[in-house]
């Protein structure tokens, strides 16, 4: 077991300042939250790791591969992070922070050297990896999924805002739509988004993202209602407009009761990653959690329907 060395690596990672497009405060909060979850690693080192695992990292959530790498390293495996170009520098820093067998590269040919491949990305990316798999290789692939939230307790507005704001809403565990029966939900959420903006400011916004937010703002003012500040928005649209594409710090709020939400969940079940809710709901194969915890997953969980600690 290499947990002491992994824990030393975790301590070194806390000293890094990720330059990945988020604001410094938001990236610091996200990194510390992800590293805190590694407290549970020592309880999951009771089985061996594949000799060499390549983790294909997505460009959206810069902390996502850390838990996988920590478990694999603590179990005695070797890990290579296949970094996307946008995060190449970050993952190089992550690998350089330890003497454990952890490396980083942007060269896709590294896949040919893996015993096990853990891939996070688009469905197209997964198909491309599957096409080059060799007979001895295993693939754990996690493609496109999205998440939903149901919010009925007005006291939880700040929790909903946090789910929307972490990673600027670009992760698959961020709620694509927030369903709520509260008549004053738009105002409550707007106030919470503004409050969180002061603590965890939004990061860089691409020109296309900015144009799409403005376009949706105009559409929403026709079909529903819109509230916005310099770096956030709450777009209230009829539930019939779900799903609406995710945009950074631009919440999509759907007025709906719980029965309508439950019907949406049933219709989209194969595509769901996480449900954040303040009401009990059954959703087989989907992680269900409290509001405010959607993008702060515990180590021990089903990941897109997979018991990943067992599958590794």
Q: Is residue 302 situated within a structural domain?
A: no
Determine the Cα–Cα distance for residues 39 and 71; give it in Å rounded to an integer.
11
On the question of pLDDT at 1 being above 80, the answer is no
The answer for residues whose C-beta is within 8 angstroms of residue 3's C-beta and 6 or more apart is 41, 42, 45, 74
14 and 29 assigned to the same domain: yes
Please check whether residue 305 lies inside any domain of the structure. no
The closest alpha carbon to 241, from 224, 218, 265, belongs to 224
Question: What per-residue confidence (pLDDT) applies to 76?
Answer: 96
* 42 and 155, same domain (yes or no): no
Instruction: Please check whether residues 234 and 121 belong to one and the same domain.
Output: no
In a domain, 309, yes or no: no
Kindly report, residue by residue over 156-205, the tens digit of the pLDDT: 999 999 999 999 999 899 999 999 999 999 999 999 999 999 999 999 99
pLDDT at 121: 87
Tell me the per-residue pLDDT of 52-72, one tens digit each, with 9 for 90 and over: 999 999 999 999 999 999 999
Instruction: Give the CATH number, domain containing residue 100.
Output: 3.40.605.10
Same domain, 55 and 169: no
- Contact between 249 and 165 (Cβ < 8 Å): yes
Same domain, 137 and 161: no
The tally of domains found in the chain comes to 2
Query: Where in the sequence is the domain holding 213, given as residue range(s)?
Result: 146-289
pLDDT at 312: 86
Q: What mean pLDDT comes out for the span 264-270?
A: 96
What is the average pLDDT across 147-164? 98
- Identify the pLDDT of residue 162: 98
> For helices 3-14 and 64-74, what crossing angle results, to 10°?
150
Is residue 49 located within the same domain as residue 120? Answer: yes
Regarding whether 139 and 186 lie in a shared domain, the answer is: no
Q: What is the mean pLDDT of residues 78-100?
A: 97
Residues 291, 309: Cα–Cα separation, whole Å: 24
Instruction: Please report whether residue 307 resides in a domain.
Output: no
Percent of the chain with pLDDT over 90: 96
Quick: pLDDT tens for 200-231. 999 999 899 999 999 999 999 999 999 999 99
């Amino acid at each position: 077991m290499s947990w002491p060395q992994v824990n030393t690596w975790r301590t070194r990672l806390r000293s890094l300042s990720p330059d990945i497009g988020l604001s410094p405060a938001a990236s610091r909060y996200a990194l510390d939250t992800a590293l805190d979850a590694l407290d549970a690693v020592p309880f999951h080192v009771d089985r061996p790791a594949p000799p060499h695992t390549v983790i294909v990292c997505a460009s959206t959530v810069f902390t996502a591969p850390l838990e996988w790498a920590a478990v694999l390293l603590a179990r005695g495996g070797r890990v290579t992070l296949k970094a996307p170009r946008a995060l190449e520098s970050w993952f190089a820093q992550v690998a350089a922070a330890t003497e454990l067998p952890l490396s980083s590269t942007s060269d896709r040919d590294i896949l040919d050297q893996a015993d096990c491949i853990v891939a996070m990305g688009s469905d197209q990316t997964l198909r491309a990896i599957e096409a080059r798999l060799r007979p001895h290789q295993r693939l754990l692939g996690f493609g496109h999924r999205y998440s939903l939230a149901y919010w009925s307790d007005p006291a939880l507005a700040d929790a909903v805002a946090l789910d929307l704001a972490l990673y600027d809403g670009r992760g698959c565990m961020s709620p694509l739509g927030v369903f709520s029966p509260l008549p004053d939900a738009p105002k409550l959420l707007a106030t919470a988004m503004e409050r969180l903006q002061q603590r965890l400011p939004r990061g860089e916004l691409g020109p296309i993202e900015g144009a799409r937010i403005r376009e949706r703002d105009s559409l929403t003012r026709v079909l529903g209602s819109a509230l916005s500040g310099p770096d956030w928005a709450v777009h209230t649209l009829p539930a019939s407009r779900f799903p609406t594409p995710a945009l950074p710090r631009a919440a999509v709020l759907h007025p709906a009761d719980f029965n309508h939400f439950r019907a949406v969940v049933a219709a989209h079940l194969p595509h769901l990653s996480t449900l954040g809710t303040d009401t009990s709901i059954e959703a087989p194969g989907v992680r269900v959690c409290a509001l405010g915890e959607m993008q702060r997953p515990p180590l021990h969980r089903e990941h897109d329907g997979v018991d990943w600690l067992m599958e590794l």
